[in-house]
Structure 1
Amino acid sequence: MSTDRLAHVRDLLAAHPLIDGHNDLPWAARDLARYDWDQVDIATDLTGRTHTDLARLRSGGVGAQFWSVFVPSNLPGSAAVTATLEQIDAVHHLIGRYAGDLGLARTADEVEQVFRSGRIASLLGAEGGQSIDCSLGTLRLLYVLGVRYMTLTHNDNNPWADSATDEPAHGGLTDFGREVVREMNRIGMMVDLSHVSADTMRDALAVTEVPVIFSHSSARAVCDSPRNAPDDVLESLRDNNGVIMVTFVPAFVSQAVADWRAEAWAAAPAAGVDPKDHVAFSAFAAERMAKVPVPTATLADVVKHFEHIREVAGIDHIGVGGDYDGVDVLPEGLEDVSGYPRLFAALADLGWSDEDLVKVAGGNLLRVMREVEAGARQAQQTRGPSLVTFTP
């Protein structure tokens, strides 16, 4: 790609917000320093410790970031809620500490307002239904605290939805799971279908009254990972007017890396590791890499997913969800959050227009946010908070 192309892309992202759907810096800060932002000071160069700091966000043209308030899905219910609240608290402290560079955004309009102020709009996304402990009241309070999407599962099934990486227990969503989706629609929280099983994807798409998102997933036809969306789901997503935010995770974009991960997943139990345990499996995989080198994923692997999803779902249904600080290794050319311009330049090299790039960068996601917000206003005129309780 040419220097001129890169410069043009940087100008484009300076004028139109690039909204990344998923960044796990809050969990990295918990792991590294128990949320001590003095020790994980993003105003300094954190290269080698994290994928994310302010200088690299600026270099990457990031205009808005969904900070993931992830907690492991194997935490017991009340502990998961507490840990999620701690994550939310940490993100609010992060935004407050760096108020000259970050600004809280809860609506599409606020994203644009913060972006126009020269700051990076900061949003919150909860990763996994374990965070609500089967309580719609807890779901509603997460919304009050600023959470604007919830991923229905993480690596484990929960009592009302099947995960992509667990043995099916419900055949998709249970009746309570469908009620969770309806209540998310009513309050204006986006339904996120990353991490869920294909049947859960299909069930949620059949129930939802508004567009849904995938905050960090790619195309299963290009890389056969259960974390990716099959083509029939991409077609349904098109009809739903939703967005899939293509992720950069090597095991979800490169078949060679996916195969390596599948072998590690199969080997983990013999080593006493539950592969669904995010923390334990990450440590196991890192140790295994020293003995069995992992193949290298590339920016070109990622681009193939953008091309395929455009062909199946269309340009109006694509976004970006890097998953920085959620994995140890990223594809060559996308090693940290400064890499987005290289991705957009690669798409431009393939003939994607400026209008296409603006849609993918954030225009499509802003449209979904506005439709979800409008749907919530309409739903609240006809129904109040759901009083349905979970019954095992």
Structure 2
Amino acid sequence: MADLQDDLRPTAAAGEFDDLADPYPEEAVVTAESYEPVSDPDDAPLTRAHAVLAAHPVADGYNGLPWALKRLSWYDLEEGESTVGTDVPRLREGRVGALFWSLHLPEGLDGDRAVGATLDQLDLAKSVAGTCDEGLRLTATAGQVVDARNCGRVAVLLGPAGAPAVGDSLGILRQLHLLGVRALTLTGVSWASEAGLTRFGEAVVREMNRLGVIADLSGASAPTIRRVLSLSRAPVLCSRSAARAIRPHPANLPDDLLAELGAAKGLCLVPLTAEQTGPTVRDVADHLDHVRAVAGAQSVGLSGTYDSGAAHPQELGDTSCYPKLVAELLRRGWDEHDVSLLTWGNVQRVLRGADFTARAAQQRRRPSTATIAELDG
């Protein structure tokens, strides 16, 4: 164990983007006065949940820790950091084996400022991971994620990043991939809009497939989602989407899109946020039940959204709380196989699919030189 001086970690410099609006506001407090935790005198489902998660840990699809740490002068993630919802002890208590670190930006950034801000966040994320090498390990492939778990580390994947970071340059996309970005959210740009993908947008998706960058469709328009599902040769995901039939949030998916996502073997990562899923652990379980029923057990996963500024349901306040959610699912009759897909197997499948598609595509074609002027001009 490092000595005290090494344990007190300075936050990485944020550079010229310190003056940007904070995309993750302070977390709100959710109250549900009528909610009472489920009584379970012998704790049998919770004990079983810990056993299942020991074999099939959580792969968390969205976590905002690097940006949250930007506000702190000092932090100690390996010993524990009470000012955030994610640290190594709580990740281990929650049986988390892997997590995606968000690189999303404040709204309104585009062009060079979006590229620069994303590079700044990449530098910050790598700095954070570098100070926690006893607990965390940066990874880029499904195999590296498994290796990290076998070595007792929590695997960290970089992304999703926002499409404005790419702008209109496939060269920038390739450089972001070289720096470790493994997921890109297809919103906020002219080539992936409410009208759907343009011809350049289609070229971006093909190049993402060739590189192994996963398309994140949370918040994308229905035409964009449908076109990406038909175009992409690699599995896609929705990093923060629940069931609109249960809670009509704009980022939640209607049943027809959930069914199409399931048919394409994509992945809907249900967020543990009060705004999108509701204020109790039962509400989250309701969404998981619904997505599994409509899209299939192979197309549902978990998105903690911890340290992203979201308010969380009661009993799910930080990354240590996943066993409580799994216990609720076991009470509802979920079997170990479906839980294992939910927590670990489905994310691994998507990562392996992205890796396989990239290797095959790189043998068939060279990097694209397409420009937005050529295709959309």
Q: How does 1:96-175 map to 2 (within 5 A)?
A: 96-153=130-187, 157-162=188-193, 168=194, 171-175=195-199
CA contact (8 A) 2:218 2:251 kept: yes
Say whether residues 1:183 and 2:207 are aligned partners. Answer: yes
Paired with 1:63 and 1:147, the residues of 2 have a C-alpha distance of 19
Residue in 1 aligned with 2:300? 318
Say whether residues 1:61 and 2:101 are aligned partners. Answer: no
CA contact (8 A) 1:73 1:130 kept: no
CA contact (8 A) 2:110 2:165 kept: no
Q: CA deviation at 1:7?
A: 2.1
Which residue among 73, 76, 82 is the counterpart of 1:41?
Answer: 76
Paired with 2:309 and 2:336, the residues of 1 have a C-alpha distance of 30
Paired with 1:233 and 1:89, the residues of 2 have a C-alpha distance of 36
Q: What amino acid does structure 2 have at the position aligned with 1:381?
A: Q
Q: What amino acid does structure 2 have at the position aligned with 1:186?
A: R
Residue in 2 aligned with 1:251? 275
Say whether residues 1:203 and 2:243 are aligned partners. Answer: no
Q: What amino acid does structure 2 have at the position aligned with 1:307?
A: D
Q: CA deviation at 1:199?
A: 2.1
Q: CA deviation at 1:45?
A: 3.6
Say whether residues 1:343 and 2:377 are aligned partners. Answer: no
**1:49-94: per-residue Cα shift (whole Å, max 9, x none)?**
2211111111111111111112123113211111111111111112
Paired with 2:219 and 2:344, the residues of 1 have a C-alpha distance of 22
Q: What amino acid does structure 2 have at the position aligned with 1:89?
A: D
Which residue among 244, 249, 254 is the counterpart of 1:225?
Answer: 249
Q: CA deviation at 1:177?
A: 1.3
Residue in 2 aligned with 1:262? none
Residue in 2 aligned with 1:258? none
CA contact (8 A) 2:78 2:135 kept: no
Q: CA deviation at 1:352?
A: 0.5
SS at 2:372 equivalent: coil
Q: CA deviation at 1:385?
A: 0.7
Which residue among 347, 356, 360 is the counterpart of 1:374?
Answer: 356
Say whether residues 1:237 and 2:261 are aligned partners. Answer: yes
Say whether residues 1:24 and 2:64 are aligned partners. Answer: yes
Paired with 1:350 and 1:195, the residues of 2 have a C-alpha distance of 30
Change (3 A) 1:132 1:73: farther
Q: CA deviation at 1:328?
A: 4.0
Paired with 2:320 and 2:329, the residues of 1 have a C-alpha distance of 16
Residue in 1 aligned with 2:343? 361
**1:188-207: per-residue Cα shift (whole Å, max 9, x none)?**
11111112122221121121
Paired with 1:175 and 1:23, the residues of 2 have a C-alpha distance of 32
TM-score (norm 2): 0.85
TM-score (norm 1): 0.82
CA contact (8 A) 2:78 2:134 kept: no
CA contact (8 A) 1:17 1:115 kept: no
Residue in 1 aligned with 2:217? 193
Residue in 2 aligned with 1:5? 45
Say whether residues 1:84 and 2:108 are aligned partners. Answer: no
CA contact (8 A) 2:111 2:167 kept: yes
Q: Which runs of 5+ in 1 are unaligned?
A: 163-167, 255-296
SS at 1:133 equivalent: coil
Q: What amino acid does structure 2 have at the position aligned with 1:25?
A: L
CA contact (8 A) 1:220 1:229 kept: yes
Q: CA deviation at 1:354?
A: 0.9
SS at 2:314 equivalent: coil
RMSD value, Cα? 1.4
SS at 1:311 equivalent: helix
CA contact (8 A) 2:134 2:153 kept: yes
**1:191-243: per-residue Cα shift (whole Å, max 9, x none)?**
11112122221121121112111112111111111101121111111111111
SS at 2:59 equivalent: strand
SS at 1:320 equivalent: strand
CA contact (8 A) 1:52 1:324 kept: yes
Residue in 1 aligned with 2:18? none
SS at 1:210 equivalent: coil
Paired with 1:140 and 1:332, the residues of 2 have a C-alpha distance of 41
